[in-house]
Structure 1
Amino acid sequence: MCSSPVDPEERSACSREVEHRVSTVREQTRRNYVRTAAVASLVGIGASTARGQNELNSDETIRVPRDQPTVQDAVDEADGGDLVLVDPGTYDEAVEVSTPELTIRGTDRNEVVLDGEFQRDHGVRIEADGVALENLTARHYTGNAFYWRYVYGFRGSYLTAYNNGDYGAYAYRSSNGRFEHSYASGHPDAGFYLGYHNPFDAVVTDVIAEHNALGYSGTSAGGNLTIRDSVWRHNVAGIVPNTLGEEDPPQRSCHIVGNEVSENHNSDAPTRAYTAEMFGAGILLWGGQENLVENNEVRDHEHFGIAATANVVEPSGNVVRNNDVSGSGTADLALGEPADEGNRFADNEFETSLPSGIEDDSSEGDPRVGGVFEARARLVDDGEFASGDWREQPEPDDQPTMPDPGIRPRPAERGTSWNGPR
């Protein structure tokens, strides 16, 4: 979530910059596939063996530090379609990427570490289409760990982001992308963030977010956007699609499915005033519309398990079904007042709700839901909310590294995933 309804680095930019790249990047991708196939033929890679098809051509790979001393030097040297392969070490640098269709990959997720030393702004900032980041750790940046801006085609796989001053994995006004097999902790905004685009055409899957203000935040984001099969725990709040400003389009059309969401009321996690208001909610549709929330396990929250409430716009058209929700201090299921039409709660396992007959009639919300958030807002206004220091959050355990990091890159897009253990 952003502290203001536009990106602070480019307040006058317009999201239409994303769309005009679509046809260009598709043609670039087609040409890249043709180029790859031609190279494979020239070096005698036969179609008969899968291993041969996946081996790298050394001319397309730049090794760090063997070929170039820093990640930035390798990125500057690379052409579109190349792989920057980074050997174990701590790299005290901030990387800027402007070449499309690169893959930057560590050989060991836990041993290839980008370190901001609490003074650099972003670990990797990308302003080019089709760039993938894989098998890396980024820590101690004053801004974001991994940051895509105004791109068509992005992917973050087997990433670890911890104790950075803003977001972990962050895609802003972008589309056609994926976050997967990744971990984020210790951020005073969101561990994983997708913002300001619809349709986003994106997937967040098989990730873990803990000790953040928000596990997931999606401001004015939706449209073929799925958050699934992930763990959201020990944040200030768990999964929060949201609308923030009257000048922005409402958040709509997000699918939240198959997640484990627990104990998101962590007063020791770092937070800011605007995220502190959401304290104690597992899945919170904060001014969200037309979202589908299903088949999630949501348990042990101070206030709400799953709630939809007004923020800038009234919740409408949201469907909450087949979830298992328990242990909520205020209500397992909740719909705030005012609420617009079309919200529906059905076939959930739960004990408490506001209003009390929420599955029989959700045509109106309950004012007590808004009262909880209003009370939090008063604490925020008085500066009395608890917050930990992002610099001092727990360091994570080692995370599963990418299987076989020496194989060829795959396209950076929504539909292309590396399969492997969490």
Structure 2
Amino acid sequence: MIAPGDYKERGDYTTHQPTTRPGAGVWIDKPDLHLIGMSRNGVVVDGTESGPACSSAAADQDRGPAHGPGHWGRNGIEVYLASGVTIQNLTVCNFLSGSDGSGNQIWWNGGYDTATIGMHSYLGSYLSATTTYYDKNDPAQATYGIFVSNADGPGLIDRSYASNMNDSGYYIGACADCNAVLNRAHAENNVLGYSGTNSGGHLVISNGEWNDNGEGIDTNSQSNGDLPAPQDGACPSRAGSCLRITGNWIHDNNNRDVPGNGLGLVGAGVVVAGGRTDTIANNRFRNNGAWGVALLPYITGVVNGPTDCTTAGGTWDNPFIDSLSGAPACFFNDYGMKVRDNEFSGNGSFGNPTNGDLADLSDFSAIGIPPAVPGRGNCYAENTDTAGLTSAPAGLPTTNAHCATAGPGAAVTDPLFGQVLCNLHQLTPGDPLCAGAVYPQQDASFSLALLPAQASMPGICSRLPRTIPWCGPRHHT
């Protein structure tokens, strides 16, 4: 149990110096250890080397031990191959990237880049993760807020906050059956509020708020990282969908002025890119400028060779896809998604062609990729918008209302294809495929959002002797 204070932890300089991979300020490799702060706002695990807590000054930043011509980068609290570890009621800030596998504020690491599960149960609650430092000319940046990889649970992340990350505020990935719940999360001012690569099976993202990110929630298939692919929300028994995005408030995700290069499908509430068999239900989508929900394909490289792609159900070396990527690539289409009982309002406010509540780009038969057969397409039921539900292609809630008969969505020849490329800035606004569309550009400079005060875990003092000075009698409840 950790008393209030600003802890500029430097385990990667002392007891756990990096040799083959970046280290961490706080390194945990003991199973079943419980790390609890006495005050969520007052216990700060701080990546800076000098100055006040979470200083934004460039001179106060710590880029990690020297490594070749540069630096290793740093992680904040890293749990390494240790199950049963609990982290609660504290803040972590300003741990910056360098070498691959750094820049993570809180990380349950079950075996990054090993394609194997090396961790089981974990729990985090009443956690805050942020950075106050960003310079677009400095490659040292905070990458992930709360990060879980290569773990099969049971896992729970509850009542947490993440902001200002140049990749995503939250990440759960590299787990075919994650057996995890991300509940009551709040992500803002990240490139992605949540991202999950090759995360599937039992995974619930529920009751969170996702706002002012580039994208709100993004889950995807990739064969060039966090294997094994694909992202598949099917239950391990293959009967139904066990990945559920439900009960969330997803709004105003239109922010290109976030750390990093500002790329991503800005203006999207939920994106499934090359995934399958997920359920998106009972959420509220408001004022996402491009699309409330966008179901799209994903183009990726491979780690070990084409079999990383083809054994995961991807298409390898299609000439048209290769021309888009500039080299042989893997193509994952999206299918089998259930989007139902969601409330939409004010989405599509960018006003470009195809912008609206729903978007489904999944018919690539024109370039030789077989489309989803009836009953394997994405389906949409009981979604509402008081101003009238909009979709690309038009009429999607009618043509694909029934999951048993749903087929593919928009074709590669549909205007939606060009709009996605234009939003990603892979095309210039003058390109005919953009049809005159203009999507937000990143400003030359911008300020990071401040970390708001967050509610602490109740009843902390009841766990301690009454002689502890910062716990008076009134706190022992």
- TM-score for both structures, normalised by structure 1: 0.72
Instruction: Using the TM superposition, give the Cα deviation of residue 388 of structure 1 relative to its aligned residue in structure 2, in angstroms.
Output: 8.0
Question: Is structure 2 residue 145 aligned with structure 1 residue 168?
Answer: yes
1:221-370 map, 5 Å: 221-245=199-223, 248-253=228-233, 254-272=243-261, 276-311=263-298, 312-329=331-348, 330-338=355-363, 340=372, 341-350=376-385, 351-362=389-400, 363-366=407-410, 367-370=414-417
In the alignment, is residue 92 of structure 1 matched against residue 11 of structure 2?
A: no
Instruction: Give the Cα separation in 1 of the matches to 2:255 and 2:459.
Output: 36
Partner of 2:163: 185
Q: Which residue number in structure 1 is paired with residue 239 of structure 2?
A: none
Amino acid at match of 1:144: N
Q: Percent identity over the alignment? A: 32
Q: 1:343 to 1:130 in 2, by over 3 A?
A: same
- Quick check: 1:113 aligned with 2:73? no
Contact 1:269 1:388 in 2 (8 A): no
1:153 aligns with 2:121: yes
The aligned residue for residue 372 of structure 1 is: 419
Aligned residue type for 1:263: D
Report the equivalent of 1:9: none
Say which SS state the counterpart of residue 397 (structure 2) adopts.
coil
Contact 1:277 1:373 in 2 (8 A): no
What whole-Å deviation, never above 9, does each CA across 1:312-350 have from its counterpart, x for those lacking one? 311111000000012122020111132633310011003
Answer yes or no: is the 8 Å Cα contact 1:309–1:369 preserved in 2.
Answer: no
Task: Give the secondary structure class of the aligned counterpart of 1:232.
Answer: strand
1:356-392 CA-partner distances (Å, limit 9, x unpaired): 111121323223333222113344899x9527889x5
- In structure 1, the gaps of 5 or more residues are 1-84, 410-422
Distance 2:213 2:444 in 1: 11
CA distance in 1, matches of 2:445, 2:456: 28
| CA distance, structure 2, for counterparts of residue 223 and residue 272 of structure 1 | 32
Match of 2:88 in 1: 134
Name the residue aligned to 1:206: 184
Aligned to 2:17: none
Contact preservation (8 Å) 2:176, 2:228: no
Q: 1:190 to 1:407 in 2, by over 3 A?
A: farther
The answer to whether the 8 Å contact 1:235/1:265 transfers is yes
Q: CA deviation at 1:214?
A: 0.5
The residue that corresponds to 1:197 in the other structure is 175
Letter of the structure 2 residue corresponding to residue 86 of structure 1: I
The whole-number CA distance in structure 1 between the counterparts of 2:253 and 2:271 is 11
For residue 271 of structure 1, report the CA deviation from its aligned partner.
3.4
Report if aligned partners of 2:285, 2:347 keep a CA contact under 8 Å in 1.
no
Contact 1:132 1:156 in 2 (8 A): yes
Higher relative contact order structure (alpha carbons within 8 Å, sequence separation ≥ 6): 1
Whole-Å Cα distance in 2 between the matches of residues 240 and 389 of structure 1?
A: 26
What is the root-mean-square deviation in Å for CA atoms of aligned residues?
2.2
Alpha-carbon shift at residue 244 of structure 1 (Å):
2.5
Q: CA shift at 1:200, angstroms?
A: 0.2
CA distance in 2, matches of 1:258, 1:115: 33
Deviations 1:174-233 (A, max 9, x none): 121111100000001110100111100000001100001101101000111000001000
Residue 405 (1) aligns with residue 430 (2): no
Contact 2:422-2:428 at 8 Å conserved across structures: no
> Of Structure 1 and Structure 2, which has the larger fraction of its residues in helix?
1
1:291: Cα distance to partner?
0.3
Task: Give the secondary-structure state (helix, strand or coil) at the position aligned to 2:399.
Answer: coil
Question: After superposition, what is the alpha-carbon deviation per residue over 1:157-186, rounded to whole angstroms, capped at 9, x for unaligned?
Answer: 000001161100000111211111000000
Q: 1:388 to 1:181 in 2, by over 3 A?
A: farther
Question: CA contact under 8 A between 1:189 and 1:272: conserved in structure 2?
Answer: no
